[in-house]
Structure 1
């Protein structure tokens, strides 16, 4: 099983910001002893992911990492709804500028809102919050980056379904 699946939120010469999924620490459970074969056969999920900032601290390409947000137990995760919402936004099926998504269990809630920069370019801010730790983090993506983020979430979800377990 893969150790990590990364989505690059931001990168410049001295900093990287990653959304890192941890498949080995995540779980997809079926209703019985057999692994699920579809999302309809999934009883519960527990996902693990983090936002990691990496800073280059010298000219020798040495990077230092700092975990900015750590979700080690996203019970009944709502991250699939984030991907679905992104697709609706891109397909113009949902024209609102503010959205809230909440998990059914203990996990990460999302507030997603649209804003424009000085040049009129559209961006989407993702605010993530854990109710059980009172910790959160926010990052922004340009509208042109939304599809890639949705694709990475979907890839992670399908990968986890393929590695699902019985309960």
Structure 2
């Protein structure tokens, strides 16, 4: 059976009796991948567009109902991140983790460009999610606006 969802724990508080966690949930069966022609793509080279379905929410552990995780609050739900740039956002997070704040890339003509990662709106091509990443001064905390 194929997975209906894949969870990534973004933050977790394991204080006894008050366990909570923040999750990123990806729905692979609801997400779509389109080829450059009318046939489904057989490799990533043939992919024209990817539309992801995902959400970010919090849960708490309900000991009264057994050790079950219950929905606490839905922070963001995307039912179709058309031409998603979430892979690029993941790359930005790696660059930030290396202590850098600029994304350096080369266009099709070989010209080098520098894009600031922080406090800059990163716009998707399509009906997808735009992102802004903000870092709080003198901390290691980042805020993601979607």
In structure 2, how many angstroms separate the alpha carbons of the residues matched to 1:64 and 1:34?
37
Q: How does 1:15-164 map to 2 (within 5 A)?
A: 15-32=20-37, 33-38=39-44, 40-58=45-63, 60-65=66-71, 66-95=73-102, 97-116=118-137, 120-128=138-146
> What SS class does the counterpart of residue 121 from structure 2 fall into?
strand
Task: Please state how far the C-alpha of 1:34 moved relative to its aligned partner.
Answer: 4.1
* Higher RCO (Cα < 8 Å, 6 or more apart): 1
In structure 1, how many angstroms separate the alpha carbons of the residues matched to 2:97 and 2:10?
18
Paired residues of 1:81 and 1:101 also in contact (CA < 8 A): no
In structure 1, how many angstroms separate the alpha carbons of the residues matched to 2:10 and 2:78?
17
> What SS class does the counterpart of residue 107 from structure 1 fall into?
coil
TM-score of the pair, normalised by structure 1: 0.64
Task: Please state how far the C-alpha of 1:63 moved relative to its aligned partner.
Answer: 2.8
Residue by residue over 1:85-126, the C-alpha shift from the partner in whole angstroms, topping out at 9 and shown as x without a partner, is 12222334435542321111112111111115xxx5411111
Q: How many residues matched?
A: 124
Q: Which runs of 5+ in 1 are unaligned?
A: 129-167
Q: Which runs of 5+ in 2 are unaligned?
A: 103-115
Residue by residue over 1:22-79, the C-alpha shift from the partner in whole angstroms, topping out at 9 and shown as x without a partner, is 10000111112142412x4211111000112112244542332143321011111111
In structure 2, how many angstroms separate the alpha carbons of the residues matched to 1:30 and 1:93?
35
In structure 1, how many angstroms separate the alpha carbons of the residues matched to 2:42 and 2:98?
30
Rate the CA distance shift 1:43–1:63 in 2: closer, same or farther, 3 A. same
